[in-house]
Amino acid sequence: MKIFRRPKISLASMGRRSGQSGFTLIEVLVSVIVLSIGLVGVAGLQATSLANNQSAIMRSQASALAYDLADRMRSNITSANAGMYDPTAAAAVASCATVAGCTPQELANNDLDQWITSLADNLPLGEGFVCIDSTPNDGSSSTAPACDGVGSQFSVKVWWDDNRDGDIDLADGYSDLSTTSVERLAIIFQL
């Protein structure tokens, strides 16, 4: 029977490295730096995604509110055709919420008042205007809607502060759908 003996380890052989084992401090530092750069990139991507998602929500809300006014006008077609949906005459009319009702003109004024209030409540700096217009994608605000009165189609125009910087900036324009600050929406409809 053969007996195996442990090899003798000398102090001189313990000080020498026979091969690399584990990571060095520099390798760990480099991997932490690479990982942190990747995480900063992911955080930037997440921030951009959230901003674009918020912009899409506001655009959907503006579209729903524009179609809300179009539906209100379709239900009060007599007043709409008579030009009674003038946003400058918007006023709350309490009798429209009663059984007795209100006149078509009062209903138009009440509809516009509720619509303008909804714009202000649901969109940052939200404002809107409705008019007959052959060029619906112009105008800079409800005080300067650029309505020309040409044609037979109504245009519902909505403006809002998309990037929430406290100002409605139309420099990017409505037609440039690749920008993240589309701050104008117009729908065209005929009664």
Please tell me which residue, 154 or 37, carries the higher pLDDT value.
37
Residue 68 lies in a domain: yes
- Determine, yes or no, domain membership for 148: yes
Task: Give phi and psi for 43, each to the nearest 5.
Answer: -65, -40
Is pLDDT above 50 for 174?
no
Q: Is residue 149 part of a domain?
A: yes
Cα–Cα dist 125/16, whole Å = 73
Q: Which domain holds residue 83?
A: 28-189
pLDDT (tens digit per residue) in 62-89: 999 999 999 999 999 889 888 899 898 8
The reply to whether 9 falls in a domain is no
Q: Mean pLDDT over all residues of the chain?
A: 82
Instruction: Give 11's Cβ-side CA count (13 Å radius).
Output: 0
DSSP code for 186: E
Whether 127 is covered by a domain: the verdict is: yes
Residue 59 belongs to a domain: yes
pLDDT of residue 121: 94
Residue 129, pLDDT > 60, answer: yes
Q: Is residue 96 part of a domain?
A: yes
Residue 106 CA to residue 90 CA, distance in Å, equals 9
Q: For residue 115, is pLDDT > 90?
A: yes
Q: What is the pTM of this model?
A: 0.70
Query: Stretch 135-157: mean pLDDT, rounded?
Result: 84
Residue 108 has pLDDT above 80, yes or no: yes
Counting the structural domains of the chain, the total is 1
The answer as to whether 8 is a domain residue is no
